[in-house]
Structure 1
């Protein structure tokens, strides 16, 4: 099980790293667009659409890494008011709820992914984007997030630990 969660962690890190490149490309595109407009040249026609898709990928691909590194916002006033046993029960309930929500959203995003793949649907803007490429990062991000929440529920770590460093070196 430890090896499985380590592989999920590496995949989560790889997706988060990919998002860094996507964000860098978005910055380059926006700066290029502004420079071209200021020099009275035509802007890059596909730039706005590419930026929109890049932001979609940037929203969903790093989510599993945020779960692993405890980068999400959480409120713990109720948890602190409980005794130690109650805290553990509440933690496990929160993890189970997060797993359920992630799997629910994965199910619908993956169903849309499969439908778009089967129908060959495209989103048409300044360039045609296969719709399955729109649903892919949503499905992947939520599914891997569910696996990262599973890591907490089986006791490998706690979301509420102050120490953010992972014992696996990730």
Structure 2
């Protein structure tokens, strides 16, 4: 099991690195696009499209890592005011609800990918790009987020630290 756990951890980290590199690409593509416009040159169509795709990939690939690191925005004002047992209960219920929502979105994502494949959908703005290559990130990422939230439901760590504003 440690090998599987290590491989899973490497996968989440690799997805986060790709998300970070995509953020760098977004910055470069925007700077190049603006510079080209200011120089009176029409920016390449693929430059804008790749930035759009990059925003989806960056968001979806980085999200499981953010869940693991408790980096998502959440408010601990209520949980920090609760006594220990109630705080643990509320935190685990919130994490369970997150698992259920992520599982539902992963399932709907699989449905969307299958529809894209069945219909042979393409994004045809700058170049022909199979739409399923965009939407495949949805079920993958939401499934991994569900797994990460599930760790907070049944694991030793809680999603909420009980230290509102302290751990940032």
Indicate how the Cα distance of structure 1 residues 43 and 151 shifts in structure 2: closer, same or farther if over 3 A, else same.
Answer: same
CA deviation string 1:86-113 (max 9, x = no partner)? 1221111111100000000111011101
**For 1:40, what is the secondary structure of its paired residue?**
coil
Aligned to 2:124: 124
In 1, Cα distance between equivalents of 2:143 and 2:124: 27
Q: TM-score, normalised by structure 1?
A: 0.85
Aligned length: 164
In 1, Cα distance between equivalents of 2:32 and 2:101: 39
**CA shift at 1:3, angstroms?**
5.2
In 1, Cα distance between equivalents of 2:25 and 2:90: 41
Indicate how the Cα distance of structure 1 residues 3 and 154 shifts in structure 2: closer, same or farther if over 3 A, else same.
Answer: farther
Structure 2: state its 5+ residue gaps: none
5 Å-filtered alignment, 1:91-110, equals 91-110=91-110
Q: Report if aligned partners of 2:79, 2:160 keep a CA contact under 8 Å in 1.
A: no
Q: Report if aligned partners of 2:92, 2:159 keep a CA contact under 8 Å in 1.
A: no
Indicate how the Cα distance of structure 1 residues 29 and 76 shifts in structure 2: closer, same or farther if over 3 A, else same.
Answer: closer
In 1, Cα distance between equivalents of 2:2 and 2:152: 12
In 1, Cα distance between equivalents of 2:83 and 2:23: 43
Q: Report if aligned partners of 2:95, 2:152 keep a CA contact under 8 Å in 1.
A: yes
**For 2:157, what is the secondary structure of its paired residue?**
coil
Comparing 152-161 with 95-104, which one deviates more in the overlay? 152-161
5 Å-filtered alignment, 1:36-55, equals 36-55=36-55
**For 2:136, what is the secondary structure of its paired residue?**
helix
RMSD: 2.1
Aligned to 2:13: 13
Q: Report if aligned partners of 2:63, 2:141 keep a CA contact under 8 Å in 1.
A: yes
Structure 1: state its 5+ residue gaps: 165-170
Q: Report if aligned partners of 2:92, 2:158 keep a CA contact under 8 Å in 1.
A: no
Q: TM-score, normalised by structure 2?
A: 0.86
Indicate how the Cα distance of structure 1 residues 152 and 8 shifts in structure 2: closer, same or farther if over 3 A, else same.
Answer: farther
